[in-house]
Amino acid sequence: MSLTLMWMHCSCHDSAPLAEHPKSSQEELILYNWEDYTPQNILEQFEKETGIKVILKEFQTVDEQVATLQSQPGFCDLTIADVNEAVTILEPLRIIEKIDDAAVKIHSRAHPLFKGSEAYGVPYSIGLLGFAVDKRYVDLAFKDCRFLITDKRFKGKISLLDEPTDIFYMLMNGAGFSMNSLSKKDHDRAYDFAVEVKKMRPVFQDLYSGLDDLVEEKVWIAMAYSGDALLYQEENDNIEFIYSLDRPCVWRDMMCVNLNAPNKANAYRFLEFINTPQVAAEIALQFKSAPGLKGAEKYLDSESLRNPLINMPESLLAICEKQEKIRDNNKVINELYLYLFNQLQESGK
């Protein structure tokens, strides 16, 4: 999921047995994850098989996550992170450690989207950044994020995620450029697009507030992640998830080990536990995301296999772009975010 840089149904475990690990001083595991992003049945299965009690802690923004882990190094044993966040932020800040190959047995192959990042964690989930929309008011046929400014009826009916990197992607995509561009000229065009977006008087909200407002018809367009939008769609037939056909943004979440984990041996046991196609499929089914491991498709139901947001085809993956230059673009990301956010605050929004 997004990286913010404002700081400076089954018994799903039929796989190989867990490796022998030395016991921690406490038989517990502290997991720090996004809010509502942890399958309870998987935690219960792990507790049953290992006798290790899982303590779940949750965060709502990446700013909150990073600030907590910087100020309280031993706050958790495992945390979730987008690949770019793990590689360029958390590991250089010595918040997470690279995987100790001697401490964990990897039984499954990661999805190709995780190529080159396997040393930083175990794949958890994959999805797209886009928009949940009320299809009664929004034309579903569009090419890129410029659609936000094409209909004057959208004024006051747009919810944007309060995450700087997601906003940067939206602005760069609407300007016609890759979010990984380092060109000042391209960034200036994104600023021009931000000026136009501001005129639409969008609101900045967290993920669930935006989706709730979409259900209540307070907004017609809510910036969202694919899995969350699909879950809301199950309760409301008017909701549709759309994404840019020009360089859609793919996110890749992985489970990482805290460098200062108080129960590190148990953290590696949990990584082994979730690193199976069965568990990867269960995560995908519960959160309507694409599984992070190869072979998980064998455990998906027929409906999920037909859904290109869960069983992502090669044709879609071929046009996706990943967050790769977030650290290099940190300054402009924050400048564009603050310009748009502050302008909206000053206008009373």
* pLDDT higher than threshold 80 for residue 17: no
Distances (CA, A) of 325 to 83, 119, 230, 253, 314: 12, 19, 28, 17, 24
Cα 5 from chain centroid? Answer: 15
* pLDDT higher than threshold 90 for residue 150: yes
- 262-312 pLDDT, tens per residue? 999 999 999 999 999 999 999 999 999 999 999 999 999 999 999 999 999
**Which H or E element spans position 271?**
helix 264-274
DSSP label at residue 189: H
The SS3 call for residue 290 is strand
Rounded Cα gap, residues 332 and 85, in angstroms: 17
* pLDDT higher than threshold 70 for residue 23: no
State the average pLDDT over residues 14-20. 44
Rounded Cα gap, residues 325 and 106, in angstroms: 29
- 51-108 pLDDT, tens per residue? 999 999 999 888 899 999 999 999 999 999 999 999 988 999 999 999 988 887 766 7
Which structural domains are found in the chain, ordered by start?
28-126+251-312 (3.40.190.10), 129-249+321-346 (3.40.190.10)
* pLDDT higher than threshold 50 for residue 15: no
Which pLDDT band, with edges at 50, 70 and 90, does 28 fall under? very high
The SS3 call for residue 142 is coil
Which residues are CB-contacts of 314 (< 8 A; sequence separation ≥ 6)?
Answer: none
The mean pLDDT value of the chain amounts to: 90
Rounded Cα gap, residues 264 and 24, in angstroms: 7
Q: Which residue matches tokens 């944007």?
A: 160
Residues paired with 28 in a beta bridge: 53
